[in-house]
């Protein structure tokens, strides 16, 4: 009888002990959960008002997918209407310079949630046939965007084409103009390299760079060669300054954009009156390609096409020196006009 009573008592104590331990474990887990939840949504952050300018930018980041679907042609007219999407004329244009880094600049600026880019070069202002189609045709080539985004297009031929400054002025006299430049001799060699590659793909022969860039009759720099003329930046800029004040231009260092892009992009953000949103997180160096690639988010990364960063041919050092001396006075004038100095020879 005593044995049965002792067994029953031990059973009751076991049940009570289990309940007590379970209660303690629940309380510990509950407190731990509350501790973890507290920092996520503190009371003061719920009460404080968000910065007004950040609201549309956050919204745009979530709606990038919709714009992507529109570019692919998958969005309906109803979606476009509901989201108040429009095709805007560009508020900024990358007008040049060819082989200065115009594509890289456009793609990097597209990291900003308030920027929408025209994917293809439109060639509206430098092509008479396109220009004759009118401004509505041009607008129709622009991507859909939200009203508070800015649209940017790039066509590097604009910088060197005589009719373009006046035509752009007639469209928008207050437009912002971006010019990305590289050291003039390096840019000329890069220009030659692109043409050479195109010739080789078609199994065509092409002169050596030295033969094109030096006039064999005078032994001086051949200014009739387009790659040389394009690198005389000040000559082209002076034509633009007949229509636009220098304050509407921003000069981007194309050489620095290759080696250290973030500071250059931050300068462009300020020029375009955009809040600073592009960070080092968005740019990572790809050792295989030898230049920076773009990180839009944790899922989507993008590198420029494999045609970027072509290997340049070896050029006779004496020709390089002659070109550098030729460009030097033009470079000095370019620094004076733009207020930006480069470490060019």
| Active-site amino acid positions | 99
Please report the DSSP string for 138-191 in residue order: HHHTSPEE-TTSEEEEE-GGGGG-TTHHHHHHHH-TT-EEEEEE--HHHHHHHH
Nearest of 186, 167, 122 to residue 315 by alpha carbon: 186
Give the residue numbers of the binding site.
99-103, 182, 190, 292, 308-312
Structure tokens at 36: 């973890």
Residue 186: partners with Cβ closer than 8 Å, 6 or more residues away: 255, 312
Give the residue numbers of the binding site for 3'-phosphoadenylyl sulfate.
99-103, 182, 190, 292, 308-312
Residue 222: partners with Cβ closer than 8 Å, 6 or more residues away: 212, 213, 214, 215, 228
Instruction: Report which DSSP code applies to 220.
Output: S
Distance CA 105, CA 222 (A): 30
| 220 to 92, 190, 217, 262, 330: CA distances (angstroms) | 38, 20, 8, 39, 16
Q: Beta-carbon neighbour count of residue 229 at 10 Å?
A: 14
Nearest of 51, 79, 86 to residue 65 by alpha carbon: 79
CA atoms within 13 A on the CB side of 294: 19
Distance CA 101, CA 104 (A): 5
Q: Are strands 283-286 and 291-295 parallel, antiparallel or unpaired?
A: antiparallel
Q: What's the Rg (C-alpha) of the chain?
A: 30
Which residue matches tokens 């030096």? 214
Which residue matches tokens 């080789």? 200
Q: Beta-carbon neighbour count of residue 275 at 10 Å?
A: 13
């Amino acid at each position: 009888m005593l044995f049965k009573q002792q067994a029953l008592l031990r059973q009751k104590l076991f049940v009570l002990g289990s309940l007590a331990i379970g209660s303690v474990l629940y309380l510990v887990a509950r407190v731990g959960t509350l501790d973890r939840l507290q920092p996520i949504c503190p009371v003061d952050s719920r009460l404080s008002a968000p910065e007004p300018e950040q609201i549309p930018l956050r919204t745009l980041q979530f709606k990038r997918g919709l714009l992507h679907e529109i570019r692919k042609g998958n969005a309906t007219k109803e979606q476009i209407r509901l989201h108040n999407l429009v095709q805007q004329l560009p508020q900024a244009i990358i007008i040049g310079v060819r082989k200065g880094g115009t594509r890289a600049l456009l793609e990097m600026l597209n990291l900003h949630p308030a920027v929408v880019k025209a994917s293809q070069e439109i060639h509206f202002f430098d092509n008479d046939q396109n220009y004759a189609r009118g401004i509505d045709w041009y607008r129709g080539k622009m991507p859909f965007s939200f009203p508070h985004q800015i649209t940017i297009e790039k066509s590097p031929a604009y910088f060197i084409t005589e009719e373009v400054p006046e035509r752009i002025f007639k469209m928008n006299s207050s437009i912002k103009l971006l010019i990305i430049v590289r050291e003039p001799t390096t840019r000329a060699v890069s220009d030659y390299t692109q043409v050479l590659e195109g010739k080789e793909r078609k199994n065509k022969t092409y002169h050596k760079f030295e033969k094109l860039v030096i006039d064999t009759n005078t032994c001086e720099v051949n200014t009739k060669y387009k790659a040389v003329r394009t690198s005389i930046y000040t000559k082209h800029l002076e034509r633009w300054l007949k229509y636009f004040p220098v304050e509407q231009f921003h000069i981007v260092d194309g050489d620095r954009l290759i080696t250290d892009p973030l500071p250059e992009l931050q300068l462009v953000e300020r020029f375009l009156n955009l809040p600073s949103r592009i960070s080092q997180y968005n740019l990572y160096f790809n050792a295989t390609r030898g230049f920076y690639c773009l990180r839009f988010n944790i899922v989507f990364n993008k590198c420029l096409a494999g045609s970027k960063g072509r290997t340049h041919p070896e050029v006779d050092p004496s020709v390089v020196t002659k070109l550098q001396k030729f460009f030097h006075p033009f470079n000095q004038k370019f620094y004076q006009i733009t207020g930006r100095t480069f470490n060019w020879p």
